[in-house]
A and B are shown apart, each in its own frame.
Chain A
């Protein structure tokens, strides 16, 4: 789409759009710095959807904000690298970040109500990115806005471009957010719980739309959610986060059918089903540790039904258990964990 369209028609190996290595993030708190993200590694390629799953506080959003360079001032990145199309983001000047944001990478948030400026028409807000990053004229920006609204499936785009955010419903606003995010054809879209606030019917529409857009624009998609149903629907690969760490990563089917970490198994078991009525709902006992009192060893061990004395000894590293399947569980080989059936 842009200047350097890779001409790798049949090639499997493409350089990743986003590549994160050993990323660690700390937030300043009252008692010094608290590690909220610990040794995160992953890559996303074009046309790929990577799901980031976990409970609130697990570090999903911090990961996204690190990539966008939108971490709060109290945060620091003591180690690690984030490369966006080969360009290092950690420690780069703000001007570089501002050039990348919107043009090469973009983000949509959970609240479509508060992410739009109520004082401007949606056309202005879409056009603004185009004018800023591409120096487009007012007229060209307006034309692009209409084109984008049409692309995200808003009927009567030419008329709706003059509407204000409050004239749109929640689902439509999220479409507008996507139009803004994608107006400059970024390579990477980060979607942070984009459908959580919406009804399932609208969620289904938006997930379909995201899939279409990904095909049309060769997007790399980082999809953050806590809903395993949504993950099953849209993600190619999944990484499960717990207490600031990735604890398991695999392609979606493998992860759901053969989880290799007890926490993943717990999450899968806890999902209530729409198709059958389970006898009693399962819940993982306890709750995630606060960043300040992480237990020694594996962060999940106090809640883990399989924990052994070794689990409290050393913090287990993320390791490959099979090709393309990583886990942080020391006992993964020993355990026969249950995935979803069929």
Chain B
């Protein structure tokens, strides 16, 4: 409404029957805008590719991920071992493929936990304000006051090591971020007139949150999920690097990195390839998040 460039486009004849050229649903509007985001499309393509690899790992792998070939320890990339072998002679290429499953699932789990913990309190705090908001936010602030990694390590210490526990810990650490974003979005939506109109119609608070607030926070939420997935993958790598995440012989990219960094001067490939995989995937999640942010949201006039 602050637009000084409002054009007559805005005012089709009240009774005009013709369908406008613009796409009809928010989804088609999103598609139209997202199509123009080249970096976002490439990132999405890459992530689909990674998911494809994870699903098809057994078919694509040239070797069993845990099979040790002690004759070829820290072997350099060759026709037999495309990306070389690690310190116990396991095929890096095959391990990398299988590890993508762990890494992706870990990210998914952490995001799901964070979302599960942050969604409802965030929406309720933002919509209800007042005392509920105060209590919820103090808890969130307390969680955010800890350095994230240390908190995650402490939580794993309580829950016990293991991938699932590690990712639950990461999810708990992340939940205040979701909570804050959702609260902020809910707070601004709460001021919209359609919320007041719904109250005036006699809608209950629960139905207003479900029907009006949630659908309108989806855009920032989706963007945040994308960023968080990248960060969760990094956190998983960190925890696995410290030996608190996935337990041997299973591998995630972070665990591969953690196990082999000692050999990076003798056999750089054992570090390089998992490192590249992590970096690219995290980057792709972040770039996708940026592209989503630019494509979601309301049409500007």
Let me know if B71 is at the binding interface, CB within 8 A: no
Q: Is the CB of A31 within 8 A of B21?
A: yes
Q: Is the CB of A109 within 8 A of B10?
A: no
Let me know if B4 is at the binding interface, CB within 8 A: yes
Let me know if B7 is at the binding interface, CB within 8 A: yes
Q: Is the CB of A57 within 8 A of B2?
A: no
Task: Report the minimum CB–CB distance from B166 to chain A (whole Å).
Answer: 44
B2, B4, B5, B14: the one within 8 Å of A287 (CB): B14
Cβ–Cβ < 8 Å partners of A288 in chain B: 8, 11
Let me know if A147 is at the binding interface, CB within 8 A: no
How many Å lie between the Cα of A286 and that of B13 in the bound state?
A: 6
Q: Is the CB of B14 within 8 A of A57?
A: no
How many Å lie between the Cα of A98 and that of B2 in the bound state?
A: 23
B8, B13, B14, B15: the one within 8 Å of A291 (CB): B8
Let me know if B12 is at the binding interface, CB within 8 A: yes
Cβ–Cβ < 8 Å partners of A292 in chain B: 9
Given A57-B9, A290-B9, A290-B12: A192 and B4 within 8 A (CB)? yes
Type the 1/0 row for A11-51, where 1 means its CB is closer than 8 Å to any CB of B: 00000000000000001001100101000000000000000
A56, A61, A109, A286: the one within 8 Å of B14 (CB): A286
Task: Report the minimum CB–CB distance from B10 to chain A (whole Å).
Answer: 6
Let me know if B6 is at the binding interface, CB within 8 A: yes
How many Å lie between the Cα of A103 and that of B14 in the bound state?
A: 44
Q: Is the CB of B13 within 8 A of A57?
A: no
A72, A109, A111, A290: the one within 8 Å of B5 (CB): A72
Cβ–Cβ < 8 Å partners of B2 in chain A: 111, 114
How many Å lie between the Cα of A287 and that of B14 in the bound state?
A: 7
Q: Is the CB of A58 within 8 A of B8?
A: yes
Let me know if A221 is at the binding interface, CB within 8 A: no
How many Å lie between the Cα of A114 and that of B15 in the bound state?
A: 35
How many Å lie between the Cα of A110 and that of B7 in the bound state?
A: 17
Q: Is the CB of A57 within 8 A of B12?
A: no
Let me know if A243 is at the binding interface, CB within 8 A: yes
Task: Report the minimum CB–CB distance from A323 to chain B (whole Å).
Answer: 32
Task: Report the minimum CB–CB distance from A174 to chain B (whole Å).
Answer: 15
Type the 1/0 row for A53-82, where 1 means its CB is closer than 8 Å to any CB of B: 000111001100100000010000000000
Type the 1/0 row for B15-29, where 1 means its CB is closer than 8 Å to any CB of A: 100000100000000
Q: Is the CB of A290 within 8 A of B4?
A: no
Let me know if A317 is at the binding interface, CB within 8 A: no
CB closest residue in chain A, given B12: A290
Type the 1/0 row for A271-291, where 1 means its CB is closer than 8 Å to any CB of B: 000000000000000111111
Task: Report the minimum CB–CB distance from A266 to chain B (whole Å).
Answer: 16
CB closest residue in chain A, given B5: A72
Q: Is the CB of B21 within 8 A of A290?
A: no
Task: Report the minimum CB–CB distance from A178 to chain B (whole Å).
Answer: 18
Task: Report the minimum CB–CB distance from B14 to chain A (whole Å).
Answer: 6
Q: Is the CB of A61 within 8 A of B5?
A: yes
Q: Is the CB of A36 within 8 A of B7?
A: yes
Given A286-B13, A290-B12: A27 and B4 within 8 A (CB)? no
How many Å lie between the Cα of A287 and that of B10 in the bound state?
A: 10
How many Å lie between the Cα of A291 and that of B12 in the bound state?
A: 10
CB closest residue in chain A, given B3: A61
Task: Report the minimum CB–CB distance from B12 to chain A (whole Å).
Answer: 6
Cβ–Cβ < 8 Å partners of B9 in chain A: 57, 290-292
Cβ–Cβ < 8 Å partners of B7 in chain A: 27, 34, 36, 57, 290-291
Cβ–Cβ < 8 Å partners of A62 in chain B: 5
CB closest residue in chain B, given A70: B4
Cβ–Cβ < 8 Å partners of B8 in chain A: 56-58, 243-244, 288-291
CB closest residue in chain B, given A75: B5
Task: Report the minimum CB–CB distance from A190 to chain B (whole Å).
Answer: 11
Cβ–Cβ < 8 Å partners of B6 in chain A: 56-57, 61
A57, A72, A114, A286: the one within 8 Å of B10 (CB): A57
Type the 1/0 row for B115-146, where 1 means its CB is closer than 8 Å to any CB of A: 00000000000000000000000000000000
How many Å lie between the Cα of A72 and that of B4 in the bound state?
A: 10
How many Å lie between the Cα of A34 and that of B4 in the bound state?
A: 17
Cβ–Cβ < 8 Å partners of A287 in chain B: 11-14
How many Å lie between the Cα of A109 and that of B5 in the bound state?
A: 12
How many Å lie between the Cα of A65 and that of B14 in the bound state?
A: 29
Type the 1/0 row for A180-205, where 1 means its CB is closer than 8 Å to any CB of B: 00000000000010000000000000
Cβ–Cβ < 8 Å partners of A289 in chain B: 8
Of A114, A244, A289, which is in contact with the most chain B CB atoms at under 10 Å from its CB? A289
How many Å lie between the Cα of A289 and that of B16 in the bound state?
A: 11
CB closest residue in chain B, given A294: B8
CB closest residue in chain B, given A36: B7
Cβ–Cβ < 8 Å partners of A192 in chain B: 4
Task: Report the minimum CB–CB distance from A242 to chain B (whole Å).
Answer: 9
A30, A65, A291: the one within 8 Å of B4 (CB): A65
The B-contacting residues of A in range 312-336, CB under 8 angstroms, are none
CB closest residue in chain B, given A57: B8
Cβ–Cβ < 8 Å partners of A72 in chain B: 5
How many Å lie between the Cα of A57 and that of B6 in the bound state?
A: 6
Cβ–Cβ < 8 Å partners of B4 in chain A: 61, 65, 109-110, 192
Q: 3 tightest CB-CB pairs across the interface, nearest first?
A: A57-B8, A287-B11, A61-B4
5 cross-chain CB contacts under 8 A: A34-B7, A56-B6, A58-B8, A286-B15, A288-B8
Residues in chain A within 8 A of chain B (CB atoms): 27, 30-31, 34, 36, 56-58, 61-62, 65, 72, 109-111, 114, 192, 243-244, 286-292
Add 15 more A-B contacts to A30-B21, A57-B8 (CB < 8 A): A27-B7, A36-B7, A56-B8, A61-B5, A65-B4, A72-B5, A192-B4, A286-B15, A287-B13, A288-B8, A290-B8, A290-B9, A290-B11, A291-B7, A292-B9
